[in-house]
Amino acid sequence: AQSVTQLDSHVSVSEGTPVLLRCNYSSSYSPSLFWYVQHPNKGLQLLLKYTSAATLVKGINGFEAEFKKSETSFHLTKPSAHMSDAAEYFCVVTLNYGGSQGNLIFGKGTKLSVKP
């Protein structure tokens, strides 16, 4: 069975400092992993995805994530936070094999606050 755990429900950083949003997953098969962002009163936007290619994945808006199989982690990072990064972030896992049904398993979300 697959599952995903976002280790922090809320993270607060100052503008210009690094961002780290933590995610651990559990999957019996080779997973695909995603980070989605949801700004207040907005829909979901794909930030980046890992699908068994390079383990360091670069996404939009300066975010990146590293797939670490030995640690079953897929943490999201950004070197320097911007006020516009304040949003809720979701780590997502799905199976990655030939007959994938595409069912996504969402983490419970991490709210990122950015202080001026």
Partner 1 sequence: EAQVTQNPRYLITVTGKKLTVTCSQNMNHEYMSWYRQDPGLGLRQIYYSMNVEVTDKGDVPEGYKVSRKEKRNFPLILESPSPNQTSLYFCAIQDRALSTDTQYFGPGTRLTVL
Binding footprint of partner 1 on the chain (CB under 8 A): 9, 32, 34, 42-44, 46, 49, 51, 90, 94, 96, 98, 100-104, 106-109
DSSP 3-state assignment of 80? coil
Strands 73-78 and 87-95: unpaired
Cβ atoms of residues 60 and 47 within 8 Å: yes
For partner 1, which is the closer residue by CB, 46 or 116?
46
DSSP state of 116: -
For partner 1, which is the closer residue by CB, 15 or 106?
106
Beta bridge partner(s), residue 68: 73
Cβ atoms of residues 23 and 116 within 8 Å: no
For partner 1, which is the closer residue by CB, 2 or 15?
2
Q: Shortest distance, CB of residue 64 to partner 1, whole angstroms?
A: 17
Q: Shortest distance, CB of residue 44 to partner 1, whole angstroms?
A: 4
Cβ contacts of residue 109 below 8 Å, gap of 6+?
6, 9, 38, 88, 89, 90
Q: Shortest distance, CB of residue 8 to partner 1, whole angstroms?
A: 13
For partner 1, which is the closer residue by CB, 15 or 96?
96
Q: Shortest distance, CB of residue 116 to partner 1, whole angstroms?
A: 26
